Structure formats: C-alpha cells, structure tokens
Amino acid sequence: MSRFQDQVAFITGGADGLGRAIASALAQEGAKVVLFDRDQERVQATAQALGGSVSAIAGDVSEETSVATAFAELDRKWGRLDIVVNCAGIVGPSNRKLPTVSVEEFDAVYRVNLRGSFLVAKYAIPLMERRNYGRILLVASIAGKDGNAGMSAYSSTKAGVIGLTKSLGKEYAETGITVNALAPAVIRTAMVDGMDPVQVKYMTDKIPMKRCGTLEEIAALSAFIVSPEASFTTAFTFDLSGGRATY
C-alpha cells in the first residue's frame, strides 16, 4: 500500500519516540520524510536507520530562524510539502505544584510546545497553499483536555495547541489543507521514562484500559489523519487515551 507515494512529509521531534514511529510508518507507505530535531547526532542516525527516502535536518522548533531555514531547505530539495507532523515537545516540571514552578521553567515548556507548534504551522502553510493541499498534525495531549495535576506548564501549553488547531483548521477549512491534533494519554517513550514515577502512575491510573498506549497505535492513527482519506476532518482533536477522554 502506498498512500503517500511521492508525498513529502516534515516531522519534528523525529529523532526518537513518536516522531520516529510516525516517520517509519509514512516512509513505508511511500513518503519522502524529512526529520527535524535539535539532537543532530541522533536525528541523523535515525534517518540512516530508517533508510530509503528519509533525511534529517538539525534544528530547534522554538527558534524562528531555525524553523524557517529548515522549510527553505526542504523547499529547495523537494519543491513541495504535503504533510507536517509536529511531535517535538517537552514535559517540563512534573509532580510539582504551581508556586514551585519558575517563570524560566514555564517559558521553556511554552517555547517548545506552543511556540514551536505555531512556528511549524506558520512556515508550513505557505508551501502547502501552492498546491492547495496539505495535512498538518499537531501533537497535543490528554493533559491539554483534562489537565494533569502537577503538570501545569505542560497541561496549559498543550491546551494551547488544541486551541491553535481549532483556529487554524477553521481558517483553512475552504482549502485542501486540514489541521488536526492528536491527544494521547501516556505513551511509553523516553520522555515518559524520564518523568517522576509518581506522576506517571497518576496519569496511568486515570486510563480506563489501565495501560499505556503504544508507538504502533500512535503511528497508525497519525497515518490516517495525514492521509488523503481524512479529507473531511479539520480543526479536530483525535483521542488516543484508552478511554480517559470521551469528548
């Protein structure tokens, strides 16, 4: 099956975790994938490991010049952009109440999670407008819907991603460009493994299925969202929470 034959996909946070899993799924279905990550050594290694038409660009989603340069490089090489998946994100302070969170810590989470989503969409859309086609998927979180105690910075910035998705989806609803979000519950990744175990247990206990999601489940749903078949859904946040969110 080659749903993405000849399409070009740009995936942030592509060195590992969600980004790598989604990149692998799209590449297997024919996409030319450009990985974007601030860990230069790891993102290059991931591109080599995935092989085929997967390449890598090192950069930081929170820095406008870095994002703009990456899209300009992609445009020079491929001359088109069909898919963007913004997986880059950080947790920040966890298992901590708001008064203990510094402004610097909050701003660091905001810069990656929300500002990064804004910048990636800002530079992706003009390339998609040329052909009046595109799929943008912003990775939010169940924390952005429900809020997680002890994770105020993460929860609020992911709620912002959902709001950005709703706004952008409506702005481009009359074009061939869709903008959607994905709200996972706990997915076992290196980012989750680095969190306070008490916080991870708190989040997992809220899942009716009483288990974490898998990278394979993330990749399968994401591939549908950014496929040509998903043409009548935009400004929507897809649930991947094992029953935690039912709205």
- Residue 21 CA to residue 15 CA, distance in Å, equals 10
- Percent helix, strand, coil in the chain (nearest 5)? 45, 15, 35
State the burial class of residue 149 (Cβ atoms within 10 Å of its Cβ: 0-12, 13-18, 19+): middle
The answer to whether the CB of 190 falls within 8 A of the CB of 245 is no
- Residue 124 CA to residue 136 CA, distance in Å, equals 8
Question: Residue 144's closest CA among 159, 128, 125, 165?
Answer: 159
Catalytic residues: 154
What are the residues whose beta carbons fall under 8 Å from the beta carbon of 223, sequence distance 6 or more? 3, 22, 25, 26, 29
